[in-house]
Structure 1
């Protein structure tokens, strides 16, 4: 099997040849590490792009690639700190950091793919397959870094990334090298292990991760991805659960078999039955009071967030949710604002005794509807001054031409890595939010806090009806706490029965009216 990858054309006689002498390049790289990380990454990426497009000996190319890889490994943590927790759409230093990090990862991928193609074409390998296995592994490591930088910045994966990753793994499998260890003292480091981590990361719906969750999932995969298996044999049932299809020869990530669809060409199947069993056992232990892994916060909120993340991974890797409704394209426009304060004010709340009442209505910004279902919207920001957003943000939105207000939560992002143009998905919480005010039942001064009530849906009344919910400022109340609740001119009492969701600055509880 020959290996064909997506590579730029080589220029034997460049007009401005790049410096390729290690004695000159290495001190230059060391000096750049003392400069501004964003500027250094941009310059290093441009330099590597030029090197990737000129001819030279393979030994020289490998020597340079390894040094650039080491240098990039020093820079990436500094760059990530600039954009990994920023609001979106990215702008300023955060935007430049994301572009520099992704560009550098992409050029490193090109460098190692070129080395791998040349090594794969050799008929005689003087060092056995050691260098070939190392290059396969490094190519897949570069793919992982491209994916990580794309997911951290919520930006599209560069074209041909998945096409080449599938081709590299298929080549290693055909040559019987996919389970060869890279080093004697690290037998678990194999090309297949690196590929498995990339596949499972993509299947976890990473564009919907909260800040910090990507790193948690990566650590989890490093420890547990070996429970997933790759096979050429198709499952007995083409819609089987805990099975994903890897579309070799196509430029897109793996997808769950239970979502249906068909593709031409060869396929590899990812089986996650054993991994799902491990997650279920871990969840049982955690819900019985077991310890969370090292590196995870020990406080109740961090523990709950980790359990929710594990349940999400179980759902995505074992039983991905099937779409309930078809997406409908639309050209409608909506106006929106973010945050509990804006939702409360646009719900027309005005209650005597409310403390810290926000002054004035926050500005609404414009969005274009890309598509929609009864459960939510895919939106594109089109305002000259777009609203800053985070995954999990609470938003108030109104379709232009309609009077009703809707409340939703931001579930995913897709950046263009430009200063505007953010696309995002939001899940509807309510079509009829009700501004209210609440205070703890035992509060000595009875000071009221702005809250938003999500009433029960009259259309779903009965034993299976969803209970009423209340959105409150984060940290204000707790589960099983009794509160005095003022809705309109009526004051009653309620007990918060279940914490449903947490987001930036708010908590969503189910509640039951009492008295």
Structure 2
């Protein structure tokens, strides 16, 4: 392989036709045909473009004319792919047959576009034309952008990149290096930058994308990353792999994305390319360190709506190698899993609905508008005969047994919060890789919390989905990191000074783990809880106020906070019943309230 020139490793069609069946074989004829496309019919436009590109790539013509025809097709193909992606993204990870065909059509459209530009590259290298100086840089940049599109879509669908895609990207840049074209800028109307893009930047974009650990991100995060990579590409350097400051290494002759430099021996770095991300990571860190109201003056080119979760993830991915703490070993057996905070809370609570776990007092019965309202400030309300006697009503009620209703309600809750039995691929003390052979639920997303346990176990471990990937022939796999061996379900309420307190939301109390120096912590929804928030914790009706201190971990779905209690536990007040002195009449807390009243 080393003896071959870069262009010999590019896969291109061999033109054999001298005419087109759908229009005149010229840029003018193609433009007239494009102007007549039925753009309101997306499927028909996609079919016509697909068939048209197949013919154009088979057409014998000059490189100048081929480029002009490809440039006419490119914006139409881009627009069509954007429209088609709406039928693919934000869908279950395992696509149905129709969505899968749409995804394959998008890939085919962009691959055929890239093939046309690669054909110009190969022809110009084998038989240079007089316009080579202008044609070749344009064709190289367009070919790299053409291959980048299928790379993005593969990541968003958690599938591997197509065979030879990375190899061809590497070869295109090797051609630019050999001809000293890496710094030449090319205008691109599909980019937001008016000054265009250099060939080195066009190559740096997919390298950054490939090093971003996209299998740990959600589709929306990947889409937002794509929006900014073209603007960030000039903040990284591509240089020999043995130079200082290189975190990632690229082997041009290998069909693979960038790898961490530390995974290779120093002696094997000769002839390899390195990717230095120090400047970009520094600007991301500076942006995150600023208060939100001051971030507009940061050097990092971003919009205010960029996700801080995304930036924190990228800072980790591009700033340091992620060392695996434990060695994985092949696994056997199965795990029982529930996905999402609602399902995990339900099963941790012993299959009890969230509202029932809070044990809150029932709201007072509503009265007709004409009934006088009871006021505790009225001294007569303390008279023995002033209180409404509910015991009389109780004797007049007809009680019905409702075991069928209770059972059906339990069945509905179990359907709402299902359990899944999944085979273990491998495991370590820190987590599992499990396989999902069939259809996966919509809740299966990177960063989602889940519960897991052995098939014969009762207690639930708390974990988070760190990555997802589609393995051809084996279904979906996900990497699961353990957060805690157990947890206590609770309700969390945000306490506000001036505004109304929030409703109770589901939360989990994680125990202290001294072996790894982990303090007691709690899992809370991302919103509205923040560091410094004052909260109320409800455990089966027992309430305590606390303060969220340091945020240990965060994903799109939840945060893990250290916390401290501000008061002792106190039962939730219950509505007194006739003949009852309240729920805590014979507890120590009752005496505590007595001392203050004496």
Using the size of structure 1 for normalisation, the TM-score is: 0.83
Question: 1:150 offset after TM fit, Å?
Answer: 1.9
Larger-Rg structure? 2
Question: 1:67 offset after TM fit, Å?
Answer: 2.9
Do the aligned partners of residues 317 and 447 (structure 1) sit closer, same or farther apart at CA in structure 2, a change above 3 Å counting?
closer
Question: 1:405 offset after TM fit, Å?
Answer: 1.8
Q: Distance in 2 between matches of 1:251 and 1:55?
A: 29
Taking the TM superposition and a 5 Å limit, the aligned residue runs for 1:168-317 are 168-183=172-187, 189-232=197-240, 234-235=242-243, 242-260=246-264, 266-286=271-291, 289-291=294-296, 295-297=303-305, 305-306=307-308, 308-317=309-318
Any idea what the Cα deviations from partners look like across 1:327-354, whole Å, max 9, x if unmatched?
Answer: 3222432232322110011213442526
The root-mean-square deviation of aligned C-alpha atoms, in Å, is 3.7
Partner SS for 2:522: strand
Question: Of residues 469, 478, 482 in structure 2, which corresponds to 1:414?
Answer: 469
Partner SS for 1:422: strand
Q: Distance in 2 between matches of 1:492 and 1:208?
A: 35
Q: Distance in 1 between matches of 2:182 and 2:439?
A: 50
Q: Distance in 1 between matches of 2:104 and 2:514?
A: 49
8 A Cα contact 1:243 1:269, kept in partner: yes
Taking the TM superposition and a 5 Å limit, the aligned residue runs for 1:110-121 are 110-121=115-126
1:162 is matched with 166
Taking the TM superposition and a 5 Å limit, the aligned residue runs for 1:477-488 are 477-487=529-539
2:515 is matched with 459
2:394 is matched with none
Using the size of structure 2 for normalisation, the TM-score is: 0.72
Do the aligned partners of residues 188 and 210 (structure 1) sit closer, same or farther apart at CA in structure 2, a change above 3 Å counting?
same
Any idea what the Cα deviations from partners look like across 1:358-407, whole Å, max 9, x if unmatched?
Answer: 95222222333233332222232124565542222222223334444222
Q: Distance in 1 between matches of 2:471 and 2:33?
A: 32
Report the more deviating stretch, 442-451 or 494-503.
Answer: 442-451
8 A Cα contact 1:20 1:64, kept in partner: no
Q: Distance in 1 between matches of 2:79 and 2:471?
A: 26
Question: Of residues 140, 145, 161 in structure 1, which corresponds to 2:144?
Answer: 140
Q: Distance in 2 between matches of 1:92 and 1:426?
A: 28
Q: Distance in 1 between matches of 2:282 and 2:260?
A: 17
Partner SS for 2:197: coil
Do the aligned partners of residues 327 and 76 (structure 1) sit closer, same or farther apart at CA in structure 2, a change above 3 Å counting?
same
Question: 1:204 offset after TM fit, Å?
Answer: 1.4
Higher relative CO (Cα under 8 Å, sequence separation at least 6) belongs to 1
2:322 is matched with 321
Question: 1:126 offset after TM fit, Å?
Answer: 0.7
Q: Distance in 1 between matches of 2:200 and 2:564?
A: 51
Q: Distance in 2 between matches of 1:275 and 1:385?
A: 36
Question: 1:132 offset after TM fit, Å?
Answer: 0.9
Do the aligned partners of residues 364 and 27 (structure 1) sit closer, same or farther apart at CA in structure 2, a change above 3 Å counting?
farther
Q: Distance in 2 between matches of 1:92 and 1:31?
A: 31
Question: Of residues 356, 359, 362 in structure 2, which corresponds to 1:353?
Answer: 359
Q: Which runs of 5+ in 2 are unaligned?
A: 363-408, 568-598
Q: Distance in 1 between matches of 2:113 and 2:560?
A: 44
2:75 is matched with 70
1:428 is matched with 482
Query: Is the aligned partner of 1:34 residue 2:39?
Result: yes
Aligned length: 496
Report the more deviating stretch, 384-393 or 407-416.
Answer: 384-393
Question: 1:426 offset after TM fit, Å?
Answer: 2.6
Q: Distance in 1 between matches of 2:56 and 2:145?
A: 20
Q: Distance in 1 between matches of 2:56 and 2:471?
A: 27
8 A Cα contact 1:99 1:417, kept in partner: no
Report the more deviating stretch, 366-375 or 355-364.
Answer: 355-364
2:435 is matched with 380
Partner SS for 1:126: coil
